Amino acid sequence: MKPWYESKTLWFNALAIVALVIPNLIEALGKTFPGVELINVWGAFALAVVNIVLRFVTNEPLKK
């Protein structure tokens, strides 16, 4: 088993959460970019696809 901090899936999900929060902060700061509300939709879609891919390419369980 590998330590939790070596999990690619964990770090990708953490990065995806950050990537989904940033557009909301930008929108709240003045709606600088048109269409920023669609970033959440595409971000969620990309997160789901990458999670499926990572599930198939990784098979080592995590240490507690």
Query: pLDDT by residue (tens digit) across 11-53?
Result: 888 888 888 887 777 667 556 666 656 666 777 888 888 888 8
Domains: count for the chain: 1
Is 62 contained in some domain? no
Is 53 contained in some domain? yes
Is 64 contained in some domain? no
Distance CA 1, CA 59 (A): 10
Q: In the block, which residue shows the tokens 């999670």?
A: 51
Distances (CA, A) of 1 to 10, 13, 52, 53, 56: 15, 20, 21, 20, 17
Domain containing 28 equals: 4-57
Is 63 contained in some domain? no
Q: Is the pTM of this model over 0.85?
A: no
Distance CA 15, CA 33 (A): 21
